[in-house]
Structure 1
């Protein structure tokens, strides 16, 4: 009788332990089978976060300033403007310090310093020696060295392979306008001289088709998901373009009748991180 009772207790204990192990197994299995969330937009929102511009932001980013006795006049530009010059880069010595627009400099972000471009202008930089390209957002002033047109972050400089040389001949092309979380944007038109300084009134870029980039993904499935979701968004259609250089799959909305319409769309805030590009 005693043995039978002990045997029943032993069996009961085994069953309880088995149930615990099974429950734990189910929990881990449930975790491993959790649905995969939609891929994250590659571009960090802190670099491309759209807000509506106003007179305060215009005044704050476009005031003339003087360095070493020379006065610089920030010059408004438009998509498509280009300028050639020598690029340099800055990194560890400035990491964590404040930039000219009040942000904290991050050498690992895709940002740059320019003497006259409006803050938050998005610029494509091409190394004319090796044709490598990178895209940066202007968030600082400089470089204040004769003959230099732009100071790239460490990350951007690595993209175009100019860390060792320190400088490189580059071509800058304005491809869009974004804003940071701490400063406003400038969405006005003028022109940029070949030196990158203020230019005489003359050619102002006209025409061209404009698109708005709403995301960039490492995985093509992520781009396809977003493109499908916004295939027909209001009067606009989505399209995907894959870069041979960095392998990113970029999603654009197209069908804007003018640059101003595209800018108004970005300013609406419908897609945080969106910015304008020219087809």
Structure 2
């Protein structure tokens, strides 16, 4: 990959990757967006294979659908990455970029990033193949994919349902499945209890490697009580516009509709949200219905 000719070819291409979102079976559409990046060689242990990124997605991967290994790794023997200053990857940091009709912007750094949402994970199908940064994906390492955090960067991911957390190195793009905030490696998912359920409610806090280790974000303190999943459909400075959207959603019977006051960058807005929703599956169903109404894809909020 370091030969001059191959590097020039790769630099000329838009290198994007994505991960599926639900359980361990990514959607075919998200799968197809994964690696349009040129050519690369990779290996999985002693079982060598060629990761030909110029192939179509239907023939590139050896496995037709994602899965997990039969043995759960001994998490106690796996070491979390130590955040350090790294140069930006030459690959996977194009901004803005578009996948499956949705546009994303890559953040300048992970500093100050703090989001809550739904986590998923990916495993066997992608193990040993190239990520968006052209690193080899290792499902037994603590890594993750993000649509917006720069490659590479670091974050602490906390499962809001049990308080378990892990530091991950972001080296891939995704997940492009609707409603997903982050796609964890199999090992990271096991460590914080996202596996075997497949999805979970998490908080993702970016880490600034320039800070001392004592200043790393601590695990989020999880309080007792039920977490709610909400879908934010819009935010308006005009109250009438917010009420018109809320009424349209109520007529569609997509669930309880709330109109909430909020301050965004010093500006007063009215947020239109649907929820709380019972679980991730219900959130996916309602989100699909809202998009089917011709409205933009809702944003997930976890309160």
For Structure 1 versus Structure 2, the TM-score category normalised by the shorter chain is: 0.3 to 0.5
The structure that has the greater radius of gyration is 1
TM normalised by structure 2 equals 0.41
Larger RCO (CA under 8 A, 6+ residues apart):
1
TM normalised by structure 1 equals 0.45
